[in-house]
């Protein structure tokens, strides 16, 4: 049964999720082909969002993800048509730390392929320093997510620019509008692993939800991953008034949900990113350094709470003062990062 499950999972990721171009496109189109290093295929909205943003930067060309689960014909292309690959794009997750398929990427570097880094986060400890050093040793385009990533990556590459989160490439004032206060509050839970202060925060979160419901607010649970759905169902077991939403399909669909809320609070990093990009008053639950890195890049570290310090009183206070946030300063920061990403990508493409 495990083998059948693996085969089904491989087929789904490689052939049914729409991440891969056709073989004819990579072989015969005049578009340049850039290989994409990043997480995909795990039903994670954050991964899909940053891939959407990267495709927007490279919209005149073709991105080809390098993953274990990929069409056999494209795997053959990667291994046997390296001369047709224009360059390497490091995607927008927190990627610089572990490394997959280092030999393959090393072979591209040996052929002189250059690298574009798209708002990538950097782990505190880079497990495989030598492959990353080899990949990043030459002049590269783009930059990492924030100042903590700049500090962390210095053991293998310095200096590095701050590019902000990869999703900022698709930031637009169309989604950044002043809205009337309404009765919808978006919430989210979900992580890849347990974290320090998790039990305390989630107990306090329950009390905050109780406060919202007593105040007559509609609490809408927005999952960004399959794991989030399970956590949402547990919350609904405690608070049947909560309504579960479907995982959004793309930035525009997600932006509509955030535009219709008075407040947003959740664990997922790109839940916070979406709140920021849609001018939705929010709190970031900083269960990992990547949240702090994001907020520091925008000069708003005070909007984050460490889980062990996230009392329901603090959440209520932030909710009650939700109209006090200086959105214009944050907007200007995102515009700066967006324009930087666009220019760096354009210069990189033209040089390859």
> Are 65 and 184 part of one and the same domain?
no
Angle between helical axes of 269-277 and 289-297 (0-180°, round to 10): 20
Nearest Cα neighbor of 54 from 95, 24, 102 is: 95
Residue 289 included in any domain: yes
> Are 340 and 316 part of one and the same domain?
no
> Are 291 and 198 part of one and the same domain?
yes
Q: What is the pLDDT of residue 17?
A: 78
* Mean pLDDT to the nearest integer, 128-140: 92
Helices (H), the chain: 2-11, 23-28, 45-57, 72-80, 102-110, 129-136, 147-153, 198-214, 226-238, 251-259, 269-277, 289-297, 312-320, 327-350
What is the rounded CA–CA span in Å between residue 274 and residue 171?
Answer: 10
Q: What is the pLDDT of residue 180?
A: 66
* Mean pLDDT to the nearest integer, 15-31: 89
> Are 150 and 178 part of one and the same domain?
no
The model's confidence at residue 288, banded by pLDDT at 50, 70 and 90, is: very high
> Are 177 and 162 part of one and the same domain?
no
Record the pTM: 0.95
Nearest Cα neighbor of 134 from 178, 174, 102 is: 102
What is the rounded CA–CA span in Å between residue 154 and residue 165?
Answer: 19
Q: What is the pLDDT of residue 172?
A: 94
Residue 207 included in any domain: yes
> Are 294 and 181 part of one and the same domain?
yes
Q: What is the length of the chain?
A: 352
Q: What is the pLDDT of residue 18?
A: 85
Residue 85: is it exposed, middle or buried by C-beta count within 10 angstroms (0-12/13-18/19+)?
buried
* Mean pLDDT to the nearest integer, 49-68: 96
Beta bridge partners of 186: 220, 264
Q: What is the pLDDT of residue 261?
A: 93
Average pLDDT over the chain, rounded to an integer: 94
The model's confidence at residue 1, banded by pLDDT at 50, 70 and 90, is: low
What is the rounded CA–CA span in Å between residue 139 and residue 320?
Answer: 47
Tokens of 127: 């497990």
Residue 327 included in any domain: no
Tokens of 290: 């990547």
Instruction: Give me the domain span that covers residue 299.
Output: 173-320
> Are 154 and 185 part of one and the same domain?
no
Q: How far is CA 307 from CA 43, 203, 288, 298, 301, in A?
A: 25, 11, 10, 21, 14
* Mean pLDDT to the nearest integer, 175-185: 83
DSSP helix/strand/coil, 109: helix
> Are 120 and 267 part of one and the same domain?
no
The model's confidence at residue 48, banded by pLDDT at 50, 70 and 90, is: very high
Tokens of 350: 């033209």
Q: Which CATH number goes with the domain that contains 266?
A: 3.40.50.2000
Residue 120 included in any domain: yes
Per mean pLDDT, which range of 86-95, 178-187, 262-271 is the poorest? 178-187
* Mean pLDDT to the nearest integer, 269-294: 97
Q: What is the pLDDT of residue 135?
A: 94
> Are 141 and 261 part of one and the same domain?
no
By the 8 A CB rule, do 184 and 241 touch? no
What are 90-130's pLDDT values in tens digits? Answer: 999 999 999 999 999 999 999 999 999 999 999 999 999 99
Residue 330 included in any domain: no
Beta bridge partners of 142: 117
Residue 197 included in any domain: yes
> Are 184 and 160 part of one and the same domain?
no
> Are 95 and 192 part of one and the same domain?
no
Statement: residue 84 has pLDDT above 90 = yes
**Count of structural domains, the chain:** 2
Residue 83 included in any domain: yes
Instruction: Give all strands of the β-sheet with 263-266 in edge-to-edge order.
Output: 243-244, 218-221, 184-188, 263-266, 282-285, 304-305
What is the rounded CA–CA span in Å between residue 348 and residue 335?
Answer: 20
> Are 23 and 166 part of one and the same domain?
yes
Q: What is the pLDDT of residue 192?
A: 87
Residue 326 included in any domain: no
Q: Which CATH number goes with the domain that contains 57?
A: 3.40.50
């Amino acid at each position: 049964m495990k083998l059948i499950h693996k085969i089904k999972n491989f087929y789904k990721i490689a052939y049914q999720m729409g991440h891969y171009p056709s073989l004819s496109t990579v072989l015969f189109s005049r578009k340049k082909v850039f290989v994409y290093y990043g997480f995909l295929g795990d039903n994670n909205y954050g991964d899909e969002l940053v891939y959407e943003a990267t495709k927007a930067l490279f919209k005149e060309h073709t991105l080809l993800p390098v993953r274990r689960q990929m069409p056999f014909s494209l795997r053959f292309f990667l291994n046997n048509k390296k001369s047709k690959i224009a360059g390497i794009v490091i995607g927008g997750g927190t990627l610089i730390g572990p490394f997959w398929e280092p030999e393959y990427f090393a072979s591209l570097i040996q052929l002189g392929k250059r690298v574009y880094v798209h708002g990538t986060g950097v782990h505190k400890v880079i497990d495989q320093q030598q492959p990353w050093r080899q990949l990043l040793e030459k002049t590269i385009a783009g930059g990492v997510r924030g100042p903590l990533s700049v500090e962390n990556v210095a053991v293998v590459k310095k200096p590095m620019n701050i590019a902000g989160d990869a999703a900022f490439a698709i930031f637009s004032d169309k989604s950044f509008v002043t809205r009337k206060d309404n009765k919808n509050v978006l919430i989210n839970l979900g992580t890849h692993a347990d974290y320090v202060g998790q039990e305390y925060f989630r107990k306090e979160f329950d009390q905050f939800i109780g406060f919202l419901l007593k105040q007559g607010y509609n609490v809408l649970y927005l999952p960004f991953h399959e794991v989030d759905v399970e956590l949402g169902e547990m919350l609904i077991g405690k608070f049947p008034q909560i309504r579960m939403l479907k995982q959004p399909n793309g930035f525009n669909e997600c932006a509509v949900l955030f535009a219709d809320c008075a407040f947003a609070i959740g664990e997922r990093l790109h839940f916070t990113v979406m709140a920021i990009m849609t001018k939705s008053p929010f709190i970031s639950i900083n269960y990992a350094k990547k949240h702090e890195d994001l907020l520091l890049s925008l000069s708003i570290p005070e909007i984050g709470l460490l889980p062990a310090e996230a009392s329901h009183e603090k959440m209520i206070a932030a909710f009650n003062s939700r109209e006090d946030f200086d959105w214009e300063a944050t907007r200007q920061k995102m515009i700066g990062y967006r324009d930087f990403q666009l220019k760096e990508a354009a210069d990189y493409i033209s040089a390859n």
